[in-house]
Amino acid sequence: MSLSNDERDALGYAKSLLENPGLAAKITNVIGTPIERGFALLPAKWSDAVNRAARAAIWKALDAAVATVGDGAPRRSSDFFHQLIVAATGATGGAFGLPALLVELPISTTIMLRSIVDVARSEGARIREIETKLACIEVFALGGPSKRDDASETGYFAVRAALATTVSEAAQYIAEKGLAQEGGPALIRLIAQIAARFGVVVSEKAAAQAVPIIGAVGGAAINLIFIKHFQNMARGHFIVQGLERIHGQDVVRTEYEAIRTDPIGHP
């Protein structure tokens, strides 16, 4: 069964969100200076701290996702409410500088996870299912490339394919043993793969917050961009998954790859 015109429009919108993330450019527009300047101001070995913080944040989000219950009828997601909360945490982090980022990141990531779950529900996903919970965690891998990526590994379906086996193994592990044993190899591999991509975006956020003039107002603005970025990734992700439930992944992927999007993100 082929997609209807309305479904193609929805898929085109999803692709415009998923393939045009541009977080660094958006942050640059807000802080008024190239983000590369911020990278130069980061302390030595800061990337190691960011990677550790990213992994801890994803673990916390995974725990929150698995604990989330209640499907309910699809309803409009509360995007603005979650944006306000994350902006507030960003204001606190901005006021206290870079060290606060390591404390703030797990909190803001968990709030973003709640927003992602909300978006998933609004697109008709069944939140009680382990596969849906992991699909919510997958969103954090869609926000940026891994440092090991080449051009063929950065597209939406390429990222999903790279995670597919690990996500499947993690779903089976959680179904059998839950999250009581955090050392499970399937979960460790999943967190590592997602954190590798999420850490790139967190590094961009850290670089922006390293610019001396940022402060509380700038920290709030950066966090607002941060959550909007992942809300967009979530919206696109669950639109695609909703169409896959109807038509199958092969049909949707073929249609997706045939869609052209313009540079500003409209189908």
- 8 Å CB contact between 198 and 54: yes
Does residue 217 carry a pLDDT above 80? no
Does residue 228 carry a pLDDT above 80? yes
- Alpha-carbon gap, residue 74 to 154, rounded angstroms: 30
What per-residue confidence (pLDDT) applies to 226? 84
Average pLDDT over residues 56-65: 84
- 8 Å CB contact between 18 and 29: no
Does residue 194 carry a pLDDT above 70? yes
How confident is the prediction for the chain on average, in pLDDT?
Answer: 79
Assign 90 a pLDDT band (cuts: 50, 70, 90).
Answer: low
- Alpha-carbon gap, residue 193 to 51, rounded angstroms: 11
- Alpha-carbon gap, residue 95 to 79, rounded angstroms: 24
Average pLDDT over residues 165-185: 81
- 8 Å CB contact between 156 and 240: yes
Element (H, E) at 192: helix 185-210
Average pLDDT over residues 189-205: 87
For residues 96-115, b (16+ Cβ closer than 10 Å) or e, as one string?
A: eebebbbebbbbbbbbbbbb
How many C-beta atoms lie closer than 10 Å to residue 179's C-beta? 15
What per-residue confidence (pLDDT) applies to 82? 82
123: Cβ contacts below 8 Å, ≥ 6 apart? 74, 235, 238, 239, 241, 242
- Alpha-carbon gap, residue 218 to 113, rounded angstroms: 22
What per-residue confidence (pLDDT) applies to 265? 44
What per-residue confidence (pLDDT) applies to 200? 84
Average pLDDT over residues 110-119: 89
Most confident of 3-12, 69-78, 101-110: 3-12
- What would the two tokens of residue 205 be? 């956020």
Average pLDDT over residues 72-101: 69
**Whole-number percent of the chain with pLDDT over 70:** 75
Does residue 102 carry a pLDDT above 90? no
**Whole-number percent of the chain with pLDDT over 90:** 25
Q: Closest by alpha carbon to 20, among 124, 143, 187, 181?
A: 143
How many C-beta atoms lie closer than 10 Å to residue 173's C-beta? 18
Assign 167 a pLDDT band (cuts: 50, 70, 90).
Answer: very high
Dihedrals phi, psi of 248, to nearest 5 degrees: 90, 150
pLDDT digits (tens, 9 = 90+) for 2-36: 899 999 999 999 999 998 756 766 777 666 666 67
Does residue 264 carry a pLDDT above 50? no
Assign 241 a pLDDT band (cuts: 50, 70, 90).
Answer: very high
Mapped onto helix, strand or coil, the DSSP state of residue 97 is coil
Tell me how far apart the terminal alpha carbons of the chain are, to the nearest angstrom: 22
Average pLDDT over residues 181-208: 82
- 8 Å CB contact between 19 and 210: no
Assign 243 a pLDDT band (cuts: 50, 70, 90).
Answer: very high
- 8 Å CB contact between 76 and 202: no
